[in-house]
Amino acid sequence: MEPTPFDRTLIRAMVFDYGNTLAEFRRDKVRAYDKALVAVLTGLYGPPDVAALHAVRDRDRLAPYAGDPPAYRENDIHDITANLVRQLYGVEPSNDDVAAVVQVRFDAFVDIIESADGVADLLGRLGEGRRLGLLSNYPDGAAIRASLAKEGLDGFFDAVVVSGDLGFVKPHPVTFETIARELGASHDEVLMVGDNWLADIQGAKRAGMWAAHVVQWAPHEEFERKPDDFEPDLVLGELCELERYFK
């Protein structure tokens, strides 16, 4: 069966990913985040093995996608922080120590994320006559919301759903069900806009939504494309190209 051609007139709601869709998460941003994490760990326990730290963080980042089939369970930010200390130092951290490191992770994330040029104006125009949502994979929902507020983007969204609050990451269907429900839209009225082939594109299409693939920046999680994968309805070299379809 041929896929249904994309019809922009059906779209009543748009849902955006955050990192590498609305805001670039460059390598220098990651380094700044890691520098803050190393500093707080050094103050508490001494200098960490940085290579080991990166290895633990990479495992944590990909853990939700492990298994066959994957459970897509999101990490708990306090649990992975405590485990980071155990792996690096072989000690059991106190609750106060875990809270201190989590706070630094929060502050560092909010500080380093900067929305791309023109995003606020673009969201303002796209939101005329449509409901807008944000659906992000990140284990700390409060950090995402604080970042949106800092960047002046929070007021554009009628709903914000973060995996850290739900306990599941995209592409789990509950993430898409939740954002659609909060936007008051049926799935076939929603366009998902994101950079991640599995989380955003396959997740949205499996949920019966439309999908726009933003290839402006390289995603942090690279997933192999499979022969039976859905194709996106739109491919955007830059996010601003989206407006071309919705004037």
Domain ranges, ordered by start, for the chain: 8-24+115-245, 27-112
pTM listed for this prediction: 0.95
SS3 category, 105: helix
Sequence-separated (6 or more) residues with CB below 8 Å from residue 115:
22, 23, 151, 152, 153
Average of pLDDT values for 47-67? 95
Q: Name the band, by pLDDT with cuts 50, 70 and 90, for residue 219.
A: confident
How many Å apart are CA 229 and CA 225, to the nearest integer? 7
Average of pLDDT values for 187-192? 97
Average of pLDDT values for 140-152? 98
Query: Phi and psi of 115, rounded to 5°?
Result: -65, 150
Q: Are residues 210 and 191 in contact, defined by beta-carbon separation less than 8 angstroms?
A: yes
The class level of CATH for 8-24+115-245 reads alpha beta
Rounded percentage of the chain residues whose pLDDT exceeds 70: 98
Sequence-separated (6 or more) residues with CB below 8 Å from residue 200:
17, 21, 170, 171, 192, 193, 194, 211, 213
Q: Name the band, by pLDDT with cuts 50, 70 and 90, for residue 222.
A: confident
Q: Give the other-Cβ count within 10 Å of 227's Cβ.
A: 4
pLDDT at 199 over 90: yes
How many Å apart are CA 226 and CA 201, to the nearest integer? 13
Average of pLDDT values for 169-173? 98
How many Å apart are CA 37 and CA 234, to the nearest integer? 38
Q: Could you tell me which residues are beta bridge partners of residue 73?
A: 168
Q: Name the band, by pLDDT with cuts 50, 70 and 90, for residue 2.
A: low
Question: Across all residues in the chain, what is the average pLDDT?
Answer: 95
pLDDT of residue 179: 98
